[in-house]
A and B are shown apart, each in its own frame.
Chain A
C-alpha cells in the first residue's frame, strides 16, 4: 500500500474521497470562464469576416483551408524554432541558479527567490525597452566593447534574431527557475553525495542522478517557458525590428489589425493543437526519464 503510486496524502481522504469535493469550485470556475468562452471562439473560427470586420455567422471551413498555404507553415516552424531555442537557453541558465538557491541555507532561499522574481515586477514592455538601450548601435554594450577595444566598429545587436532570443529568454527565465527550484529542493543531497562517493563524474551525476530525480520540475519549467515564447509578439516586434512574423504576431495581426476574427480564431486553434502536442511529448519524455529511478 505504501509503495502504491496512488498513495494519498492522508489515508482517510483516499477511502472516502470527501476531499474530491474541494476540487469542485475550481472546476466550476474553469468550466464557466474558460470552456464556455473557448467554445464561443471555436464557433467563431467557422464563421466569416464581415465587410467591415464584424462576424458573419455562416458556417464555413474556409479559414482552416486558407491556413494550409505554405506561408503559414513557415511561420509556424519559425516560431517553434525560436520557442525551443528559448527553452533550451532558459534551462542552461536557470538550472545552475535554481540549484544554488535550493542548496543555500534555508533562511536565504525565500529571499533569493524573491530577488529572482523582483525584476519581473517591473513592466514587460519597459524591460524590453531596457534591452533596446543595451543592444542598440550606440547602446551600452557597444559602448563598452568599443571603448575596451574589443571591436573596431559597433556590432549590430538589435533588430536581429539573436536579440529576439535574448529578449525571450529574459522574459521567461523565472518561469524556469521556480519549478526547477521546487524540484531540486526536494532532491536528497545524500543521493548526490553517494553518487560522487561511487566515483561518478560530474556529468554522470548530473545526467544519471540529478536530472531524472528533478524531471517533473524540468518538464514543468520547459512547458511554462515554451508556451508563452511560441505565442509572443511584442519581443519579435521590438527587438527583432518587426522583420519577421511569428505566430503570435500573426494572431495579433488578424484580431487587431485585419480585424478578421474568424481567421484569427482558426490560427489560434491550430497553434493550440500544436502546443498541446508538444506538451504531451514533453510530459511523455519526462515520465520516461523519471521512470526507473522513481519506482523505489
Chain B
C-alpha cells in the first residue's frame, strides 16, 4: 500500500481541486461588481450588504436549514430503528425489504413530489413547512437505512458474541460494541441525509405551502431574473461558516491532547 500512496495521493488531490474549483470561483465572483456579465467589473462588497437586507432570501435559507435538521433527525431515528429491526429477520425478508427500500430512491423526484402533493390534498393536510419535512423524511429514510445496513451486514458476528459470552445483555452489547462499530456509517448517513435535504428542489416544490419557500426554490425562481451575485455571497458565507466550525473543532481537539 505504501507503494501506491504517491499516485493515489496525487489523484485525490486533483479530485479535491475539482471539487473546490467551482466553490472558489463562486466566492471570487461574489466580489464582482458586475451584475450580469461574467467579466470582472471591479471589486465590491455590495452583494454582501444586499444579502444582509434580503429578508426573503435569508428566510428561505432559514427554512432550508430547519427542514434539513428536522428531517435528518427524523430519518436517522426511523431509519436507524428500521436497520436494527431488520437484523432479526430472515435473510429472504431482509433482501425483500432492502430491495424495496431502493424504490423511493429510484422514483423520479418530480413524480414523488406530485404524488405527495396529491396525497396531502386528498387527506386535507394544508401544505406548509410540515408537509415539506414529511416529504423529506420519505426520501431520507431509505438512504439512512441502506447506509447503516451496508455496515451492519459486514459486521463480524464474533464481536457481539464475545460480548454476550462476557455477560453483556442486549442493551450493553449494543451500546459498547455494536454502536461504536457502526458510528462511521451513522455519521455518514446523517451527512448524506442533511446534504440531500438542503439541496432538494422538486419534492420541496410540490409540498411547500405559503411561507415555506426554501433556498433551492428561491434560487430557482430567481433564474428568470438572473441569479444575482447575492447568491454567491450567501454560498461563500455558508461554506466559510462550516469551514470555520470544522477548524474550530480541530483546535479544541488539539488542546485536549
Do the two chains touch directly in the complex (Cβ atoms below 8 Å apart)?
Answer: yes
- Name the residue among B115, B116, B215, B242 with the largest chain A CB count within 10 angstroms: B115
Chain A residues contacting B22 (CB-CB under 8 Å) are 119, 127, 130-131, 133-134, 170
Other-chain contact of B88, A18, A34, A122 (Cβ < 8 Å): A18
Instruction: Report the minimal beta-carbon distance from B193 to chain A, rounded to whole angstroms.
Output: 11
Interface string of A244-285 (1 = CB under 8 A from B): 000110011001100001001100110110011001100100
Instruction: Judge whether A25 is part of the interface by a CB distance below 8 angstroms.
Output: yes
In-complex Cβ contact of B107 among A38, A100, A136 (8 A): A38
* B214 closest partner in A (C-beta): A123
Neighbouring A residues of B26 by C-beta, 8 Å: 122, 126-127, 130
Chain A residues within 8 Å of B173, by CB: 9-10
Interface 0/1 of B138-166, CB less than 8 Å to A: 10011001110011111101101100100
In the assembly, what is the distance between CA of A27 and CA of B18, in Å? 39
Query: Is A97 an interface residue, CB under 8 A from the partner?
Result: yes
Query: Would you give the shortest CB distance from A92 to chain B, in whole angstroms?
Result: 9
Q: A12-B164, A127-B26, A130-B22 are in contact. Are A217 and B150 (CB under 8 A)?
A: yes
The A interface is mostly helix, strand or loop, or mixed, namely: helix
CB-defined contacts of A19 to chain B, threshold 8 Å: 84-85, 87-88
Of the candidates B102, B111, B118, B161, which one forms a contact with A251 in the assembled complex, judged by CB atoms under 8 Å apart? Answer: B111
Query: Chain B contacts of A217 at CB under 8 A?
Result: 150
Supposing A8-B87, A119-B23 touch, asked if A178 and B154 sit within 8 A by C-beta, the answer is no
Give the number of chain B interface residues (Cβ < 8 Å).
Answer: 104
Asked if A29 and B242 sit within 8 Å, CB to CB, the answer is no
Q: Which residues of the partner chain A approach B49 to less than 8 Å between Cβ atoms?
A: none
When A and B form their complex, what is the total count of cross-chain residue pairs whose Cβ atoms lie within 8 Å? 294
Query: What chain A residues lie within 8 Å of B137 (beta carbons)?
Result: 29, 33
Instruction: Collect the chain A residues with CB atoms within 8 Å of residue B94's CB.
Output: 6
Q: Which of A36-73 contact B (CB under 8 A)?
A: 36-38, 40-41, 44
Contact B141 A29 (CB under 8 A): yes
Kindly state the separation between the CA atoms of A247 and B184 in the bound complex, as whole angstroms. 35
Are B107 and A268 closer than 8 Å at their CB atoms?
yes
> Which residues of the partner chain A approach B25 to less than 8 Å between Cβ atoms?
130, 133-134, 140
Distance to closest chain A CB from B117 (angstroms) = 8
Per-residue CB contact flags for chain A residues 194-219 toward chain B (1 = under 8 Å, else 0) read: 00100000100000000000001100
Q: Does B235 contact A (CB under 8 A)?
A: yes
For residue B257, give the distance in angstroms from its CB to the closest CB of chain A.
Answer: 10
A85 located at the interface, meaning its Cβ lies under 8 Å from any Cβ of chain B in the complex: no
- Selected from A9, A111, A119, A126, the residue in CB contact (under 8 A) with B157 is A9
Tell me if B116 and A25 are in contact (CB < 8 A). Answer: no
Given known contacts A118-B242, A185-B184, A8 and B170 CB-to-CB distance under 8 angstroms: no
Contact A100:B9 (CB < 8 A) given known A33-B137, A118-B242, A120-B195: yes
Given A17-B89, A33-B137, CB of A123 within 8 Å of CB of B216 = yes
Contacts A10-B160, A138-B39 given; does A26 touch B115 at CB 8 Å: no
Are B91 and A110 in contact, CB atoms less than 8 angstroms apart?
no
Q: Is A145 in the interface zone, CB < 8 Å from B?
A: no
- Closest Cβ of chain A to B75, distance in Å, is 9
Residues of chain A at the chain B interface (Cβ within 8 Å): 2, 5-14, 16-27, 29-30, 33-34, 36-38, 40-41, 44, 93-94, 96-97, 99-101, 103, 107, 109-111, 113-127, 129-131, 133-134, 136, 138-140, 170, 173-175, 178-179, 181-183, 185-186, 189, 192-193, 196, 202, 216-217, 220, 223-224, 227-228, 231, 234, 247-248, 251-252, 255-256, 261, 264-265, 268-269, 271-272, 275-276, 279-280, 283
Identify the 9 closest CB pairs spanning chains A and B, nearest first: A23-B85, A22-B85, A26-B82, A37-B115, A130-B22, A268-B111, A7-B157, A122-B235, A37-B119
Can you list 19 contacts pairing A with B, beta carbon distance less than 8 Å?
A: A12-B164, A14-B87, A14-B88, A20-B89, A37-B115, A38-B115, A41-B118, A100-B9, A100-B12, A111-B250, A114-B191, A118-B239, A130-B22, A130-B25, A133-B29, A133-B38, A220-B146, A261-B114, A276-B106
